[in-house]
A and B are shown apart, each in its own frame.
Chain A
Amino acid sequence: MNNREFIAKRIAKELKDGDVVNLGIGMPTMVANYIPENVNVILQAEDGILGVGPKAEPGEELSDCIDAGGNYITTVKGASFFDSSLSFCIIRGGHVDITVLGSLEVDQEGNVASWMIPGKKVPGMGGAMDLVVGAKKVIIAMEHVGKNGSPKILKKCKLPLTAVNVAKTIVTDMAVFDVVQDEGLVLKEIAPGLSVEDVQNSTEAHFTVSPELKVIQV
């Protein structure tokens, strides 16, 4: 199991039966592969679908059934379609229970920077800003450190923000943190074989350790 699978598997355990869930592009999409059998969630795609199913088989692709990443997908029983205006009514209006989003940086105040690197990469925010502001719970899925080993969980985000004070849970290959109002980051779980010192050495942000610290189970 690689880091991305490990993160996706751990996040899948956060989903509850009946939740309306929007999964961002990339690692967050992988969460759908690990949702437990007895948990039925309703997956939303911001281009206008509730009830996203598995990818369409080759030869079965329909031009009127694509997800927000442009992939040909299927729908599950009970699915519905709608336009962008209603889709963002669902998102902004608090009708999405959980959104899972990758990020470039996140900080101890729950600020998220996920959408641009000035001068380098400006793909646009798409629906990400609406999702992190509107969803009831925002879970950040990311590898704990960047490719060069630099921390991505910071005291203060350096890149342009996606939104202020929105992240509720951060799941990485090393740890699970909750962002608690007026308290900051609380380390709740730690990857097998790691110490709190290992996590601290890879984290710029200040955090406290939960008295019920657990080992991440996937």
Chain B
Amino acid sequence: MKNKLTSAIEAVSKVKDGDTLMIGGFLTGGHPENLVKALVDTNSAGGLTVISNDTGTKELSIYQLVKSGRVKRIFASYIGSNPETGRLLMTGEAKVQLFPQGTLAEKIRAGGAGLGGVLTPVGVGTVVEEGKKKIEIDEKEYLLEMPLRSNVALIKANKADEVGNLIINGSSRNFNIVMATAADYVIAEVDEYVKEGEIDPNHVNVPGIFVDAIVKVG
């Protein structure tokens, strides 16, 4: 069995110039703070694309990442809690593209699920439809939203076992589960690490096959 347990520094060294990065979490909830901090402190890859629901808050290391000039493009649904992302959008220093939250989740799900895209009625008649294909089905209009994938995903879980099965509690599930399905290399920051067989299969939120590296924190 491949040993997936590693350090934060080693795990985030997988991020290379020009990579697309998914970062789980919803504001502070379920945010992989230790992985993002390691990325900020020890990895110098630039030209990054960051996919995150909200790009976190000022108190989190993702604020420093966004501020570092290493991010050229951001996909998010809400950026009101990270003024630096708002500044990049206003100045055009980075390309910030906003999607309805459910659309962002479903684009990532499509990327992980091998779908060619999704059709959603959300955004029809608004600026969200600009540049997107509209498809009419049974007299209702939908936008074709294309799938999203990434090179690396940074996610947060409460508990992992040796094979990478994850338990994610409460409202911290948010984008962490779906992002685990849509990246070439998935790094999970976990509070607790246990032996194979010590997690009840009924309680697994993310099957271990999706997880490439586990970083135990705390």
Residue in A84, A91, A122, A125 whose CB lies within 8 Å of B90: A122
Chain A binding surface SS class: loop
Of B86, B123, B126, B174, the contact of A84 (CB 8 Å cutoff): B174
Residues of B85-106 whose CB lies within 8 A of A: 86, 89-90, 98, 100-103, 105-106
User: Does A177 reach chain B (CB closer than 8 Å)?
Assistant: no
Interface string of B108-137 (1 = CB under 8 A from A): 010000000000111111111000000000
Binary CB contact string for chain B from 63 to 91 against chain A (1 if under 8 A, 0 otherwise): 00000000000001111110000100110
- Is A178 engaged at the interface, CB distance under 8 Å to the other chain? no
Least Cβ–Cβ distance between B205 and chain A, in angstroms: 8
Q: What is the distance, in angstroms, from A106's C-beta to the closest C-beta of chain B?
A: 14
A129–B106 contact, CB under 8 A?
Answer: no
- Given that A47-B174, A88-B106, A125-B78 are known contacts, is A130 also in contact with B124, CB under 8 Å in the complex? no
Q: How far is the CA of A152 from the CA of B116 in the complex (A)?
A: 41
**Interface presence of B26 (CB below 8 A):** yes
Chain A residues 65 to 87 lying within 8 A of chain B, measured CB to CB, are 65-68, 70, 81-85, 87
Distance (whole angstroms) from the CB of A133 to the closest CB of chain B: 5
A154 contacts the other chain (CB 8 A): no
Whole-angstrom distance between the alpha carbons of A84 and B180 in the complex? Answer: 13
In the complex, whether A124 has a CB less than 8 A from a CB of chain B is yes
Q: Please determine whether B173 and A83 come into contact, CB atoms closer than 8 angstroms.
A: yes
The answer on a CB contact under 8 Å between B127 and A160 is yes
A41 at the interface (CB under 8 A from B): no
Cβ-defined contact, A161 with B126, below 8 A: yes
Which range holds the interface residue count of chain B? 35 or more
Contacts of A66 in B (CB 8 A): 26-29, 171
Question: Does B185 lie at the interface of the complex (its beta carbon under 8 Å from any beta carbon of A)?
Answer: no
Confirm or deny: A63 has a beta carbon within 8 angstroms of a beta carbon on chain B: yes
Interfacial chain B residues near A194, Cβ < 8 Å: none
CB of B28 within 8 A of CB of A63, answer yes
Chain B 153-175: CB-based contact to A (< 8 A → 1; otherwise 0): 00000100000000011111111
CB contacts under 8 Å to A, within B12-48, are: 26-30
Among A62, A111, A119, find the residue whose CB has the most chain B CB atoms closer than 10 A: A62
* A124–B125 touching, CB < 8 Å: no
Q: Mark A122-142, 1 if CB is under 8 A from B, else 0.
A: 111111111001100000000
Q: Please encode chain B, from 55 to 67, with 1 for each CB lying within 8 Å of some chain A CB and 0 for all others.
A: 0010000000000
Chain A residues, CB < 8 A from B150: none
| CB-defined contacts of B128 to chain A, threshold 8 Å | 125, 129
25 CB-based A-B contacts, threshold 8 Å: A47-B27, A47-B171, A48-B173, A49-B171, A64-B29, A64-B30, A66-B171, A70-B29, A82-B173, A83-B174, A84-B102, A84-B105, A84-B173, A84-B177, A123-B78, A124-B79, A126-B78, A126-B80, A126-B101, A129-B102, A130-B100, A130-B102, A134-B122, A161-B127, A163-B125
* Further contacts, 6 of them, CB under 8 A, given A81-B169, A84-B177, A161-B125: A84-B102, A125-B78, A125-B98, A126-B78, A163-B124, A164-B124
**Which A-B residue pairs are the 4 nearest by beta carbons?**
A88-B102, A123-B80, A64-B170, A164-B125
